[in-house]
Structure 1
Amino acid sequence: MKKLSQKSLASLGAATAVPAYDRSAVRPGIVHFGLGNFHRVHQAVYVDGCLHQPGNEGWGICGVELIDVPATRAKAQSYRNQDCLYTVTEYAPDGSAATRVIGAMVDYLHAPDDPEAVLARLVHADTRIVSLTITEGGYNLDETTGLFKLDTPEVAADLAGGPPRTAFGFIVEALRRRREQGTGPFTVMSCDNLRHNGGTARKAIVSFARARDAGLAAWIDAEVDFPNSMVDRIAPQIPPEVKERLNQRSGIDDAVPALGETFSQWVLEDDFRAGRPPFEAVGVEMRNDVPAFEFMKGRMLNAAHILLAVPGILIGHRIVHEALGDQRLYRLLDNFLDRDAIPRIEGPQGVSLENYKKAVLERFSNPAINDQLLRIAFDTTAKIPVFHSRTLEMLLADGGDLRREAFFLACFGAYLNGRDDNGQSFDVVEPRLSEQDWELARGGNPIDLLRTSPFAKLGLADHLEFAKLYGGYVAMIQATSVGKTLETLLVETA
């Protein structure tokens, strides 16, 4: 296999698409925090497309890694060894695939090694966008109050002074310096999978700034753009065996290959006073109705994803397409989307919710993606309130069928025990559950799960019909199994 580098691009062969632009002329105009797989197969791919448009050499990406562990240091060195290049292999549901080399990232900084280098890049006049994929929970907002948490250790350390450690610390300090120098602000563009992501980023960053300097916070709030966006592409983890498979297929020795489905969507508000790449030329939908897309995706795709993951894991599945191949789980999702979600969603203008549903189920069925259910179930307590609460609220309000949601939450209670129907254990990662929440969840009264902090504000424990259904499914799961309970549910709701 051929080592991936700028020098080797010309020798990779016609089967692999490579950057057709002059990378030596590309300058960083975007600084990105959070170089996970999603960014690498989504935003970076769109930016790579923009760089193929003439006259856009100023829109390269400088990646920033904040975490200081051996794995991130090794990743940083891998990118440097490969001139910041990496491959993306896209698999269609029919099994066909294509590999391309992404050249959009032209610099990679490991912040713990040299925080001043990160600040210098952020302050540079060429930097006009700072983008974020720091996960849904990375914005440091209290789930109960919605306020930015100033007392978390890293945020408190940033506010105390010294080199920044967090994205908030770096962004606010850079904006302070730009304001002082008269450079003008950059745009902050969240690409995270949460509703109103631009508004969420604004709230977090302005709150952090206010804790430092009220005048600076007011300037940021007035002068910095925070466009909202809806982002969508499945980007699974790359364990060693998948890395080897991808490299064998491409014939390229890539230390950091990425894998994605062919489907990709990005709906973005056109709110960029500091300028932006020609996103609309590469398939980004520049629209002013982003919330309608957010609601559709969150309440259909994301809600169905976690609805598949939790009972799927408990039944004994570990891979998404295998779980959806279980006709019981397929029918659960199909019924949820048809009966619970779609009738209560007003979709974006010109978009068919039925066609969107078909696309969701087709994407989940893609065997090449090999996505892990445990990855999807990570931090479920952050996802259920975001992706299921509105549907639950509407079902409760209009007298809808509560059985599928009650079954789902009963499954989540069983999931917290970390053992499936077959007696196999699995890791449960729920960082948002406090010690008090865990005591409630494991205290012997199943209804108390509905009183834990992620679910308390939904009032489910006090809704007699829901609580009765939920308690019944908890008892049935304990007496039989999740699989048998799902079969009963499907018969009852046929």
Structure 2
Amino acid sequence: MTRLSRSTPLPQGVERPSFDPGNLKVGIVHLGLGAFHRAHQAIYTDKAIEARSGDWGIASASLRSVDIVADLKAQDYRYSVVTRSGSGDKARIVGSIIDAIAASEERERLLQRLTDNPTRVVTLTVSEKAYGIDPVSGGLDLSHPAISHDLAHPTAPIGVIGMVVEALARRMHLGRDPLTVLCCDNLPGNGNIVRRLVLEMADRRDAGLAAWIEREIRFPSSMVDRIVPAATDQTRTLAASLIGAEDHLALETEPFSQWVIEDDFAAGRPAWEAGGAIFVSDVHAYEKMKLRLLNGSHSLIAYLGQLNGLEYVRDVMGVPVHAGRVRQHMEAVLPTLDPVPEIDLSAYREELVARFSNPAIAHRTGQIAMDGTQKMPQRIFAPAAERLAAGGDAADFAEVVAFWLAYVITAKHLDDPRAAELKVAAALASTSVSSAPFFGIPGLFPPELKDNATWRQFVDAHLRRLCPA
């Protein structure tokens, strides 16, 4: 079987771009060339170009991996996304990515792309931990390897914030047009967070640069949603059967996709609404809904799965008692949410349950369980603190925290940026079956939870049940 390329004849039924990717010019630079970007923003951009044309081709950069860039180039930047559901599978070839850059080997080429005047939007999907956020202050974490390197070597950055700051410095000195930096990671107020980090790093370098960025550059917030499991050999085999070609970059995903974006752009944007994106003046309510109902429930499912030997999300949802526990958590979240324009929360919850239960999607609980210290604060700790402040007991959230801590205590391997601290706390906690060592980790739990003895007793009671001495 031949490998997918721009000249590959495709079977009927395979969706493909109605435009010629060879005629596109780069208007977007994306940092974080992972599966989610390729199954989400790239498809929205395909549909935007199909609807209203425009030079919105994407130059996608991987900050670490070289292999994915090599694979994209070998396939003329083509790849397939298979949408899976109980009713069948459908493949689409994506065409909006027209350049790929391995930052570890092509830093100058990436900086040039970011500096080029036609680049009007920079999008980001690099994971929560890559930003280098201090867990206590919310600003720059000076101990983060990429942050410390980029402060010391500002013109030779390796991290996402340093890369953006150096590119903006070059744009300012060259008199380039302003642009928009659009974060698409699961961080509350993600645009505000990235803006703060960029301004802090810029100010340490040059107060004039920070002032120019504050005046000229836009940092809208956004909320993204689509389940995109890590690709497997089975994914690639399925894609090959649908497209009639070998595709090293094939992805599988669910039918559902959502993108809510604050409409604040410095130099225009693609017509992403053609793909279903929603433009609003404030994404806060949507973001809170998604982080707490979807992502919070996902974390609960992940730790239930890991503690009970269930590999996939669908396996957890196939156990009635676990599915009921997920519904219970969603009910506990509801009082912490704001009204969400044009969203029926009851219907949204039922849709989430159906999505989690999709038999065709193999989303590993181990993948979701990673980086708990980066995910739990906004998904679980924040709503717990709000429930306590409103006079509730937040007992549901205490149990979710206990599931996470039990996972940390029992896991043979922890993939987390604070793994060393967690392991020390886990060793202490396992002897006394107490959550106290975890509450002693600086900046991990907010004071509202750390200082609430009654709520911590709920956590300990659940933890003793899960990890008996």
Fold-level similarity (TM above 0.5): yes
The question of 1:236 aligning with 2:229 is answered yes
* TM-superposed deviation, 1:318: 1.1
After the TM superposition, which residues 140-151 of structure 1 pair with which residues of structure 2 at under 5 Å, given as runs? 140-151=132-143
* TM-superposed deviation, 1:346: 2.0
User: Any conservation in 1 of the 2:184–2:223 contact (CA below 8 Å)?
Assistant: yes
Deviations 1:78-123, CA, capped at 9 Å, x for gaps: 111111111001112x242210100100011112222221122111
The question of 1:153 aligning with 2:149 is answered no
Q: Distance in 1 between matches of 2:184 and 2:165?
A: 19
Which range is displaced more, 175-184 or 243-252? Answer: 243-252
Report how many aligned residue pairs link the two structures.
Answer: 464
Tell me the residue number matched to 1:486.
none
Tell me the residue number matched to 2:416.
430
User: Any conservation in 2 of the 1:150–1:208 contact (CA below 8 Å)?
Assistant: no
Tell me the residue number matched to 2:201.
208
Match for 1:240: what amino acid?
A: D
Q: Distance in 1 between matches of 2:122 and 2:43?
A: 16
> CA separation of 1:218/1:365 partners in 2, compared to 1, >3 Å: closer, same or farther?
same
After the TM superposition, which residues 449-488 of structure 1 pair with which residues of structure 2 at under 5 Å, given as runs? 449-453=438-442, 455-479=444-468
Tell me the residue number matched to 1:59.
56
The question of 1:22 aligning with 2:32 is answered no
User: Any conservation in 2 of the 1:385–1:454 contact (CA below 8 Å)?
Assistant: no
Deviations 1:438-493, CA, capped at 9 Å, x for gaps: 3333213413123323543244354232222222222222349xxxxxxxxxxxxx
User: Any conservation in 1 of the 2:123–2:183 contact (CA below 8 Å)?
Assistant: yes
* TM-superposed deviation, 1:166: 1.9
Match for 1:439: what amino acid?
A: V
Q: Distance in 1 between matches of 2:265 and 2:359?
A: 38
Unpaired runs of at least 5, structure 1 = 420-425, 481-494
Q: Distance in 2 between matches of 1:156 and 1:381?
A: 21
Identical residues among aligned pairs (%): 34
Match for 2:452: what amino acid?
A: H
User: Any conservation in 1 of the 2:14–2:242 contact (CA below 8 Å)?
Assistant: no
* TM-superposed deviation, 1:150: 3.3
Say which SS state the counterpart of residue 231 (structure 1) adopts.
strand
Q: Distance in 2 between matches of 1:322 and 1:370?
A: 9
The question of 1:131 aligning with 2:123 is answered yes
Q: Distance in 2 between matches of 1:398 and 1:173?
A: 44
Tell me the residue number matched to 1:34.
32
Residue of structure 2 aligned with 1:367, choices 341, 345, 359: 359
The question of 1:439 aligning with 2:424 is answered yes
Unpaired runs of at least 5, structure 2 = none
User: Any conservation in 2 of the 1:447–1:461 contact (CA below 8 Å)?
Assistant: no
Q: Distance in 1 between matches of 2:371 and 2:144?
A: 18
* TM-superposed deviation, 1:433: 4.4
After the TM superposition, which residues 483-494 of structure 1 pair with which residues of structure 2 at under 5 Å, given as runs? none
The CA RMSD measured in Å over matched residues stands at 1.8
Match for 2:63: what amino acid?
A: L
Q: Distance in 1 between matches of 2:409 and 2:244?
A: 43
Say which SS state the counterpart of residue 259 (structure 1) adopts.
strand
User: Any conservation in 2 of the 1:289–1:348 contact (CA below 8 Å)?
Assistant: no
Q: Distance in 2 between matches of 1:479 and 1:183?
A: 62
Say which SS state the counterpart of residue 93 (structure 2) adopts.
strand
Deviations 1:49-81, CA, capped at 9 Å, x for gaps: 11212431x1000011221xxxx2222111111
Give the TM-score normalised by the residue count of structure 2: 0.94
User: Any conservation in 2 of the 1:129–1:186 contact (CA below 8 Å)?
Assistant: yes
> CA separation of 1:315/1:194 partners in 2, compared to 1, >3 Å: closer, same or farther?
same
Match for 1:18: what amino acid?
A: R
> CA separation of 1:233/1:299 partners in 2, compared to 1, >3 Å: closer, same or farther?
same
* TM-superposed deviation, 1:151: 4.1
Tell me the residue number matched to 2:46.
48
* TM-superposed deviation, 1:401: 4.5
The question of 1:80 aligning with 2:73 is answered yes
Tell me the residue number matched to 1:174.
167
After the TM superposition, which residues 235-384 of structure 1 pair with which residues of structure 2 at under 5 Å, given as runs? 235-338=228-331, 340-384=332-376
Q: Distance in 2 between matches of 1:185 and 1:16?
A: 38
Say which SS state the counterpart of residue 255 (structure 1) adopts.
coil
Match for 1:427: what amino acid?
A: H
* TM-superposed deviation, 1:385: 1.0
Structure 1 stretches of 4+ with a deviation exceeding 4 A read: none
Say which SS state the counterpart of residue 253 (structure 1) adopts.
coil
> CA separation of 1:131/1:224 partners in 2, compared to 1, >3 Å: closer, same or farther?
same
Match for 1:395: what amino acid?
A: R
* TM-superposed deviation, 1:165: 1.6
* TM-superposed deviation, 1:413: 2.0
Q: Distance in 1 between matches of 2:212 and 2:238?
A: 50
